[in-house]
């Protein structure tokens, strides 16, 4: 049995590098774009209207919600107080604060929460991370499904406590 | 008079390099736009919160204030006082911010056709470092209020679920 041999013999295929490099660069840039370089940022809104004190609501006396945060010499957290009640000074304190807020509002999404306001009164030197933790604990919670559940969204700051 | 008929050389338009270049340009502008939109300063290490979610509606006018420390290579603050990183390169101490804030307020008042005593609907976005004393942020908010801003948003880094 004989195989027919092509008359032209072997043909040299030249690899073209330029389009390959182009495509590789494109892929590189595409993955660079999809890569999350920085973590997503979210925000908490603080509403502090000028000149207008909180409107007195005569029909409905809502209990005041005051969260006091105390700090040590280096700005570390030494205490979380919810309406003058000590809740601790660790991360558990913020969980307790979260539970207290939930007890106060009854259920998340309660229409009353629109009129409720939390006042954060922190020591001057307290590291800002703890303040954000406290605001986060008052604002809501992430449920088991990973969805945020809102508690009280109105947050304000008390007057800064200047060191003497 | 007779014209010689030349062989018609039909120039085949090679589309591949053109598409490559167009894709490169698209990718380039995507990158540029992404960086422009954030106005974030990489020197600020935001506090993290699992409840901080990127807001779906972006305020149409915002003033971003980055508050943080000047740090050395190991991340230790060089100067004990926090600075506002203003307009990219400028570093301003918080008590000295009032003049700049008043200028910004004037700009936004003119932009919205407001009088000098009207409060400004522009949101002030505060991106503060986790180690900054809370009192300093409160002072900054007070200065903003003096300059007639009244809406504030505190930025926090969104925690990945399960990373805490």
Residues B42-86: pLDDT tens digits? 788 888 888 887 777 777 788 889 999 888 888 888 888 899 988
**pLDDT at residue A20 is higher than 80:** yes
| B55, B48 contact by CB (below 8 A) | no
Match 């972006």 to its residue by tokens: B58
Average of per-residue pLDDT values in chain A? 81
Q: What integer pLDDT is reported at residue A130 of this predicted model?
A: 92
Q: What integer pLDDT is reported at residue A126 of this predicted model?
A: 92
The structural domains of chain A, ordered by start, are 65-157 (3.30.420)
ipTM exceeds 0.90, yes or no: no
- Residues near A44 by Cβ (< 8 Å), separated by ≥ 6? A132, A135, A136, A139, A155, B49, B51, B52, B153, B154, B156
β-sheet with A65-71: strand ranges across:
A85-88, A77-82, A65-71, A118-122, A155-157
Closest chain A residue to the Cα of B151, Cα to Cα: A47
Does B154 lie at the interface with A, CB-CB under 8 angstroms? yes
3-state secondary structure of B68: strand
CB contact under 8 A, B133 and A127: yes
CB contact under 8 A, B158 and A160: no
Domain ranges of chain B: 48-158
For residue B34, what pLDDT band results from cuts at 50, 70 and 90?
Answer: low
Q: What integer pLDDT is reported at residue A51 of this predicted model?
A: 59
For residue A4, what pLDDT band results from cuts at 50, 70 and 90?
Answer: low
For residue B148, what pLDDT band results from cuts at 50, 70 and 90?
Answer: confident
For residue A159, which residues of chain B lie inside 8 Å, CB to CB? 138
Compute the average pLDDT of residues B90-118: 87
Q: Which of residues 45-84 of A touch B (CB under 8 A)?
A: 45-50, 69, 75
Question: What's B48-158's CATH class?
Answer: alpha beta
Match 């470092």 to its residue by tokens: B129
pLDDT over 90 percentage in chain A: 10
Of B134, B150, B156, the CB nearest to A48: B150
**pLDDT at residue A56 is higher than 80:** no
**Cβ neighbours of B73 (radius 10 Å):** 5
Compute the average pLDDT of residues B7-31: 78
**pLDDT at residue A46 is higher than 60:** yes
In this predicted model, which residue has the larger pLDDT, B87 or A83?
Answer: A83
């Amino acid at each position: 049995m004989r195989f027919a041999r092509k008359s032209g013999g072997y043909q040299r295929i030249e690899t073209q590098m330029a389009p390959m490099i182009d495509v590789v660069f494109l892929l590189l840039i595409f993955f660079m774009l999809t890569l999350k370089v920085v973590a997503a940022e979210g925000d908490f809104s603080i509403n502090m209207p000028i000149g207008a004190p909180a409107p007195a609501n005569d029909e409905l006396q809502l209990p005041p919600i005051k969260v006091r945060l105390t700090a040590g010499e280096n700005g570390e957290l030494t205490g979380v107080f919810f309406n003058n009640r000590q809740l601790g000074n660790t991360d558990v304190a913020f969980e307790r604060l979260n539970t207290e807020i939930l007890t106060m509002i009854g259920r998340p999404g309660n229409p009353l929460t629109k009129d409720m306001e939390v006042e954060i009164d922190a020591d001057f030197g307290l590291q800002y991370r703890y303040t954000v933790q406290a605001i986060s604990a008052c604002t809501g919670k992430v449920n088991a499904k990973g969805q945020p559940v809102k508690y009280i969204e109105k947050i304000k700051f008390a007057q800064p406590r200047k060191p003497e | 008079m007779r014209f010689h008929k030349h062989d018609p050389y039909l120039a085949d338009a090679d589309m591949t390099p053109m598409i490559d270049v167009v894709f490169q340009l698209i990718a380039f502008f995507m990158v540029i736009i992404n960086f422009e939109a954030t106005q974030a300063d990489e020197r600020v290490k935001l506090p993290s919160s699992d409840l901080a979610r990127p807001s779906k509606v972006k305020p149409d006018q915002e003033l971003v204030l980055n508050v943080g420390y000047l740090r050395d290579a190991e991340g230790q603050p060089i100067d004990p006082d926090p600075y506002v990183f203003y307009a990219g390169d400028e570093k301003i101490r918080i008590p000295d911010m009032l003049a700049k804030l008043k200028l910004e307020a004037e700009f936004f008042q003119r932009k919205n056709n407001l009088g000098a005593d009207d409060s400004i609907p522009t949101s002030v976005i505060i991106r503060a470092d986790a180690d900054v004393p809370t009192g300093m942020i409160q002072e900054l908010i007070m200065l903003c209020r003096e300059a007639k801003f009244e809406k504030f948003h505190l930025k926090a880094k969104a925690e990945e679920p399960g990373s805490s």
